[in-house]
Amino acid sequence: MTKLKVVIAGSSGRMGQALITAVLQSPDTQLHAALDRADSRYLNKDAGELCGTPCGVLIGHDVAAAVKGGDVLIDFTRPEGTLNHVKICRANRVNMVVGTTGISAAQKEELVSAAKDIGIVFAPNMSVGVNLTFKLLEIAARVLNEGYDIEIIEAHHKHKVDAPSGTAIRMGEVIATTLGRNLSECAVYGREGVSGERSSATIGFATIRGGDIVGDHTALFAGTGERVEITHKASSRATFAQGALRAARFLVTNKPKLYDMMDVLGLR
């Protein structure tokens, strides 16, 4: 069996280690290369040792060298690093799975451009369950389109640097689009002081940061006499890693294009 040759960016991070574990445990994938920052103290160390499974692949920082001969680069790092990786992968015709959050609309256009030459799956959350949740939110928004106030509550660990999470924003986008709204015009990010009566046209966001929470997301539809809550809770980063591998396998048999997890899961 020909194995999918996977390159992991951000190998020393929590998500990087979860991805390495998933690749090493999967019978149809192999760790082709592992990357980290040029100033990382883990350079030249066995990537598998970080997650308890030595594999002989040393962590490096030369992206161009790492992707040569590889099939796909999986990247859950920071926007600036990801965009640099996109350019290098495009030049080397290596597909990408991008789970990086905090990418701006302008930066996304760089992914769109690169996807003319390589396959890219870009999603704020690679979890299969979360992407099913997006579909459920679409259905809920169609049904609960009048008389319900919508709030999105998300919680993550204390180390997360962006807020609201990319997943929370995507939840808002799905709901807003279904309702014929523009999220940038109707979103309310937090409230303080005398904020006035709530407008039914808004979608509110609340952010919680603390401890080691992997990721909790709830969309609340509050009506008169009832409320509907659609919640997804992640207890391990393994769910994101497995989703990323599913996306990587998807790219093998599909043409260059910018995809998301809805494409991967056939939920269009």
Sequence ranges of the domains in the chain? 4-122+237-264, 128-234
Per-residue pLDDT at 153: 98
> Whose CA is closest to 13, among 100, 129, 124?
100
Per-residue pLDDT at 268: 79
- Residues with catalytic function: 156, 160
Q: State the pTM of this model.
A: 0.84
What strands lie across the sheet with 258-259, from one edge to the other? 59-60, 29-35, 4-8, 72-75, 95-98, 120-122, 258-259
Instruction: Cite the beta strand spans of 9-143 per DSSP E.
Output: 29-35, 59-60, 72-75, 95-98, 120-122
Give me the CATH topology for the region 128-234.
Dihydrodipicolinate Reductase; domain 2 (3.30.360)
SS3 145: coil
pLDDT in tens, 114-139: 999 999 999 988 999 999 999 999 99
Give me the CATH code for the 4-122+237-264 domain, please: 3.40.50.720
Residues 93-97 have a mean pLDDT of 98
CA–CA distance, 62 with 60 (Å, rounded to integer): 6
Q: What band does 230 get if pLDDT is binned at 50, 70 and 90?
A: very high
Q: What band does 89 get if pLDDT is binned at 50, 70 and 90?
A: very high
Q: What band does 101 get if pLDDT is binned at 50, 70 and 90?
A: confident
User: Does 1 score more than 90 pLDDT?
Assistant: no
pLDDT in tens, 20-52: 999 999 999 999 999 999 999 999 999 999 889
Phi, psi at residue 112, to the nearest 5°? -60, -45
**Structural Rg of the chain based on CA atoms:** 19
Q: What band does 70 get if pLDDT is binned at 50, 70 and 90?
A: very high
SS3 135: helix
pLDDT in tens, 248-263: 999 999 999 999 999 9
